[in-house]
Chains A and B, each alone.
Chain A
Amino acid sequence: MTSRRAFLKSSGVALFSLGFTAIPEFVAKAALATYNQTTRKKVLVCVFQRGAMDGLMAVSPFTDSNFTNARNRLRMSVGGENGLIDLDGRFAFHPAFKPFKPLYDSKQLAIVHGIGSPDTTRSHFDAQDFMENGTPGKKSDTGWLNRATSKLKGTASPFQSVAFTSALPLSMVGPATTLAVDDLRNFNVKVPGATSLMQSSTAESFESLYEQTSQELLRNNGKESFEAVRMLQSLNAQNYRPAAQYPQSPLANHLKQVAFLIKNSVGLEIAFVESTGWDTHVQQGTVNGQFSRVAADLSQSIAAFWNDIEQHHDDVAVLTMTEFGRTVKENGSGGTDHGRGSCMFVLGNAIAGGKVYGNVPQLAPENLADGRDLPVTTDFRALFTDVAASHLRINNAASLFPSWSGSPTNVFK
């Protein structure tokens, strides 16, 4: 792949450093056009559901009496306005996932159930780390999306891999350059009350300082910051008008910005956003309650995003992930505790959707992991590999996951 630095030099983006505010429009346009000359970029949007989603409540095996008997306060039935939404006679969406139903029906959305990590840890932090590292049972200092980034072909944009988080998530940590940003509108050097020339000279000062610092981490990240600032300045993020109605939430706000970057063809290839609040130990709720709230936010946000980028459906895939599932049986506090398998969603035009993949056994105690949890029957790396290979077109995608030798899923057409 052409290195980012080489690209920036050759395309004239380096000229920007002559002056921050006075970016000649034509140079910016030319730079952006370069990204579009090559084949259209595929974009992978990863949504990490932190806290471990109860996959059995999201997509319930509602005909399994082992399951319905294990849940008392959390039991729900199919049908009616607030009931579970039947998918295939065996599984049903929790009502809060209603916005996913049309996507499932149009076969753009697939569900992989009983998915998780072969490592049996029930610690959020370990399990999240393992999933983000892509190395169950072993912690490392690179994330799988970072390794994927370094395998992407073609010219690299400063917005090639973006996490919409205030700190870089482990998935994106590593040698390849990735960007963490909470809000694109704040992405610039700002001297309050000063003229734009003052802003630009200040930015120049900072740039030269960060370029020269002996601290490598500060130096490299400083450089990337200023390159990204220049790219963004030529777009008008402040005035973005989405083509869909998003809910009001951090997740929705971040997906909106992903849509903005996609529509502006800035070279985005991997986006990472987070959804929180899934750790439902206490009062998980049914139609209402904590689970329902976060699930509604997730499904509404993703559905809005999907409508917003309608012109780009051929190029975009959305993948959700969560560190593990929750106990089959509800606990004493009206919630569920840390378990093993959960479910993940994949959305895209190339997905062979409208189907629940994976293997969910009858949830009799003898079929459960440690006698209590939905067993992991699909290794998350099988799905991640499939997505990396089929969607991001990464050669030998399995090598993103060291020491893994399983076969990928086949959720793509």
Chain B
Amino acid sequence: MKFSFLFVVVLTTLFLQAQPISTGKITMPWREAGLTDRQAAAHLLDRFTYGARPKDIDKVVAMGLENWFEEQLQANSNDAIVKSKIAGYKTLNMTTREIAEVYPTPGKVIIELMQQGKLKDLGDLKDSSNKEFRKTALKYAYENGYRPQRELLGQMIANKIIRAVYSENQIKEVMTDFWFNHFSVSMVKGQARTFIPTYERDAIRPNVLGNFRTLLEATAKHPAMLQYLDNAQSTAPVGTPTLLSIALDSINNMGGIKGWFARRKVNAAMERGEQMKEEFFKNTPEEFKPRRGINENYARELMELHTLGVNGGYTQKDVTEAARALTGWTMMPLGYNKRADKINDMIERGKKIGVVTEGDFLFRADVHDATEKNILGTTFKAGRGMNEGEQLLDMLTAHPSTAKRIALKLCTRFVSDEPPQALVTKVADVFTSTRGDIPSMLRTIVSSPEFWNKEARRAKIKKPFEVAMSTLRLADADVTPTKELYDWITRLGEQLYNAQAPTGFPDNAKAWVNTGSLLNRMNFGLAVATNSIKGVTTNVQELNRNTEPTTTEEALKSYLPILLPERDYTETVRMLTPVITSKEFGDKVRNQQPTRKQEMDMDDEILSEEELNSILQEKKSVDMPTKGAEKPQQQTLQNVVGIILGSPEFQRR
């Protein structure tokens, strides 16, 4: 009886755990929602790409929406354009170690300068105009082959923009943005900056369409996160037993000649370590020396932001205990190639007491709190080293609050700012049953009626990066990322890789739509259409397949389906037609010749409305024949395109 009971339990458990991760055939119920194939394709593309171009809609309809989606989840389409566009960005292929060696933080340069006696006092730095110091620092950097960090970070930003605009694997790009933002690290924190490029490339990107648990651990162990949320500095306080102190105790208690030899060996090794430390931190100001102590920043955000959510059912005590379990999770010492041998030697010896290395991740057993912990009601037995942290990640992933939180975030991104609770629950259940399989959750979303409902369509307001990227895609712009383009995205409100808080950027309309930001959105559309952003080239004639509209009204009607495919723009036409077909619009457009500019500006300054109008009347009768007799000029077309790109309809997806 007992046996069979156990048997059932085991079977049930197996069944629950082994529930197959769904692949392949899904059905998207758009016809039930009253959509045509093209409308459905446009909606799907609006949500899962950086902009639905007419040619994309053609393609998706031709291959079938479900097939397109599955192909995107595989994310192995050939990205020849991306490859050629990013070919010159050498840092994209460098390892974290290589980057740390070539692109040191200013802080590291300062420490090195101080260690070599080239900088005496930190106070010297206060005066940033200190030319003498700047010279010394630059010379030192040059001699050591150091390169400025802005080069590294510029290439990272360029890579993101190029991929968003050109990649054939659009869902992968959208999900990379989503998960990077969920596990947000930011350039705001100087110590983390150097590691963000490989964080996105190695920890985030390979896992965005994989498993949540894998993703979570990849972020937890990457130098960028370890630095950003300070876990790299979190150690057991002096006096707390560590794996090292326990090992030392047992050697000290070892009897006989064997014990004597062991002690001799260990003491010598410890002494060498101390010497090395002393030598290393010679001339280093107190403020830069590492100190022992718990830092609970990561443990807190791990629970609050990455997994459970703020009301997910944990206490301050759980945070502190989790921080203790994570003590010793740090990064390999990088950028110290001159000392690499000694460091490696020390790490190798450390492996005997539980030191672990995995790529750039280092588990330091010597500073890991080896006492018992209790987290979320579970006892973590003392002295289990790195396994404790991994067990914590398992627990957090399995927690129902995590399933709910991730489901809510995905539904908010892909459905609406306040997604239907039934859908969130459905996706959360899939998270639980598949143990965090990301494609399964996405399939669930697009297979649900809630995704295709009238309420969900055009319900999302694009966030700034989405506005910018969809503008570039829809305008078929040729893009070479520049500082100017980056600054534009910042002005729209989203300074890439610079989220102010570990929450990342918000994903709801209220956070992004305000009076100031709307003007910037309009201006961005105009700037792209008029080729006013360095690195961004559009050709409005080509966009229109070189069909030259004969009137501004015709221009409007020909560009709307190109820029707002499958949208209802009767209202837009109705509103814009009177303005753009009025005599004034034609005249205003033609009054744009540079020679006139001065004159017109002056008119504006000194004339009253009435006087101005009378002059305009006069000019009209002299210069201009009837409206529409001439084809609209290039700038008129650009302006029409700009107005559509800046229109309220374009802000929606």
Type the 1/0 row for B46-64, where 1 means its CB is closer than 8 Å to any CB of A.
0000000000000000000
* Interface check A264, CB cutoff 8 A: no
A167 to B639, CA, bound (A): 27
A185 to chain B, nearest CB (A): 12
A175 to chain B, nearest CB (A): 12
In the complex, which of the residues B126, B310, B609 contacts A19, with contact meaning CB atoms closer than 8 Å?
Answer: B609
In the complex, which of the residues A182, A190, A208, A287 contacts B579, with contact meaning CB atoms closer than 8 Å?
Answer: A208
Query: With a CB–CB cut-off of 8 A, which chain A residues contact B522?
Result: 189, 206
> Contacts A180-B515, A190-B523, A281-B230 known; A206 to B643 CB distance under 8 Å?
yes
Q: Closest 5 A-B residue pairs measured CB to CB?
A: A332-B293, A192-B532, A213-B648, A181-B516, A197-B588
A206 to B648, CA, bound (A): 8
In the complex, which of the residues B310, B527, B580, B588 contacts A195, with contact meaning CB atoms closer than 8 Å?
Answer: B588
> Contacts A217-B509, A218-B651, A288-B126 known; A189 to B519 CB distance under 8 Å?
yes
* Interface check A166, CB cutoff 8 A: yes
* Interface check B296, CB cutoff 8 A: yes
In the complex, which of the residues A194, A196, A205, A332 contacts B291, with contact meaning CB atoms closer than 8 Å?
Answer: A332
* Interface check B316, CB cutoff 8 A: yes
In the complex, which of the residues A126, A211, A285, A288 contacts B310, with contact meaning CB atoms closer than 8 Å?
Answer: A126
Partner-A contacts on B (CB < 8 A) = 122-123, 125-126, 188, 191, 230, 233-235, 237, 286-288, 290-297, 300, 304, 310, 316, 458, 461, 490-493, 495, 500-503, 506, 509-520, 522-523, 526-527, 530, 532, 571-572, 575-576, 579-580, 584-585, 588-589, 591-592, 596-597, 600-601, 603-604, 607-609, 612, 635, 639, 642-643, 646-649, 651-652
B576 to chain A, nearest CB (A): 6
Query: With a CB–CB cut-off of 8 A, which chain B residues contact A281?
Result: 230, 295, 297
> Contacts A179-B514, A182-B516, A333-B290 known; A24 to B608 CB distance under 8 Å?
yes
Query: With a CB–CB cut-off of 8 A, which chain B residues contact A282?
Result: 191, 230, 233, 295
* Interface check A355, CB cutoff 8 A: no
- In this complex, what residue of B is CB-closest to A212? B575
Q: How many A-B residue pairs have CB under 8 A?
A: 227
Query: With a CB–CB cut-off of 8 A, which chain B residues contact A200?
Result: 588
* Interface hits, A62-100 → B, CB 8 Å: 73
Query: With a CB–CB cut-off of 8 A, which chain A residues contact B635?
Result: 193-194, 198
Contact check, A334 vs B287: say whether CB atoms are below 8 A apart.
yes
Query: With a CB–CB cut-off of 8 A, which chain A residues contact B642?
Result: 191, 202
Contact check, A123 vs B304: say whether CB atoms are below 8 A apart.
yes
A173 to B511, CA, bound (A): 9
A201 to B552, CA, bound (A): 13
Query: With a CB–CB cut-off of 8 A, which chain A residues contact B293?
Result: 331-333
B49 to chain A, nearest CB (A): 21
A291 to chain B, nearest CB (A): 11
* Interface check A299, CB cutoff 8 A: no
Q: How large is the interface on A (under 10, 10 to 19, 20 to 34, 35 or more residues)?
A: 35 or more
Contact check, A206 vs B517: say whether CB atoms are below 8 A apart.
no
Query: With a CB–CB cut-off of 8 A, which chain A residues contact B492?
Result: 166
Name 16 extra pairs, CB < 8 A, besides A189-B526, A190-B526: A124-B501, A167-B512, A167-B514, A167-B517, A179-B515, A179-B516, A182-B516, A191-B642, A213-B649, A217-B513, A218-B461, A221-B514, A283-B288, A332-B293, A333-B295, A334-B291
> Contacts A50-B500, A209-B575 known; A331 to B294 CB distance under 8 Å?
yes
Contact check, B491 vs A166: say whether CB atoms are below 8 A apart.
yes
- Could you list some 18 contacts between A and B, CB below 8 A? A22-B604, A124-B501, A179-B515, A181-B515, A186-B523, A187-B516, A190-B523, A191-B639, A191-B642, A195-B597, A198-B639, A201-B589, A209-B647, A209-B648, A217-B510, A221-B518, A331-B293, A333-B230
Contact check, A22 vs B607: say whether CB atoms are below 8 A apart.
yes
* Interface check A308, CB cutoff 8 A: no
Query: With a CB–CB cut-off of 8 A, which chain A residues contact B493?
Result: 166-167
Query: With a CB–CB cut-off of 8 A, which chain B residues contact A287?
Result: 123
